Amino acid sequence: MGYQNSFKVFLCLSVIFLFSMKIMVLEKYFEKINFTAFSIHTTKPIRKGAHYWFSQTNKHANKNITLPNCTLPPDLGPYNIQLNVPLDNEFKNERMSFGGHNKPENCIALQKIAIVIPFRNRESHLKIWLHNMHPFLQKQQADYGIYVIEQHGNLPFNRAKLLNIGYKEALKEYDYNCFIFSDVDIIPMDQRNLYRCSTNPKHMAHALDKFNFRLLYATLFGGVVAFTKEQFLKVNGFSNLFWGWGGEDDDLYKRVITAGMQIERMNNIISKTKAIPHKRDPGNEDNPKSEPLLEKAARRMYTDGLNSLNYTFIRVMKHRLYTKVLVDIGKPENIEQ
Ligand SMILES: *[C@@H]1O[C@H](CO)[C@@H](O)[C@H](O)[C@H]1NC(C)=O
Ligand SMILES: *[C@@H]1O[C@H](CO)[C@@H](O)[C@H](O)[C@H]1NC(C)=O
Ligand SMILES: *[C@@H]1O[C@H](CO)[C@@H](O)[C@H](O)[C@H]1NC(C)=O
Ligand SMILES: *[C@@H]1O[C@H](CO)[C@@H](O)[C@H](O)[C@H]1NC(C)=O
Ligand closest to Cα of 88 equals: 1
pLDDT tens, N- to C-terminus, the chain (337 residues): 567 888 888 888 888 888 777 666 655 555 444 444 333 333 344 455 555 555 445 555 566 778 899 999 999 999 998 888 876 666 777 677 788 999 998 899 999 999 999 999 999 899 999 999 999 999 999 999 999 999 999 999 999 999 999 999 999 999 999 999 999 999 999 999 999 999 999 999 888 888 888 888 888 898 999 999 999 999 999 999 999 988 999 999 999 999 999 999 998 889 899 998 887 777 777 887 788 888 888 889 999 999 999 999 999 999 889 999 999 999 987 644 3
Q: Does ligand 4 come within 6 angstroms of the Cβ of 84? A: no
Q: What is the pLDDT of residue 216?
A: 81
What is the reported pLDDT for 227? 97
Give the ligand 4 atom nearest the CA of 330. 13
Question: Using a 6 Å cutoff on CB, does residue 311 contact ligand 4?
Answer: yes
Q: Are 236 and 255 in contact (CB under 8 A)?
A: yes
Which fold, 61-328? Spore Coat Polysaccharide Biosynthesis Protein SpsA; Chain A (3.90.550)
Residue 253, phi then psi, degrees to nearest 5: -60, -45
pTM: 0.77
Ligand 1: residues with CB < 6 A are 34, 36-37
Q: Report residue 226: phi and psi, to 5°.
A: -125, 130
Determine the residue of 30, 31, 33, 36 to mutate for testing ligand 1's pocket, defined as the one with the most ligand atoms within 8 A of the Cβ atom. Answer: 36
For the chain, domain boundaries:
61-328
Measured from the CB, is residue 110 less than 6 Å from ligand 3?
yes
Ligand nearest to the CA of 331: 4
Query: How far is residue 52's CA from residue 59's CA, in Å, rounded to a whole number?
Result: 13
> With 0-12 CB in 10 A as exposed, 13-18 as middle and 19+ as buried, what is 3?
exposed
Residue 205 CB contacts under 8 Å (≥ 6 apart), including other chains: 183, 186, 222, 223, 224, 225, 271, 273, 275
In angstroms, the CA 57 to CA 324 distance is 20
Give the pLDDT of residue 32: 45
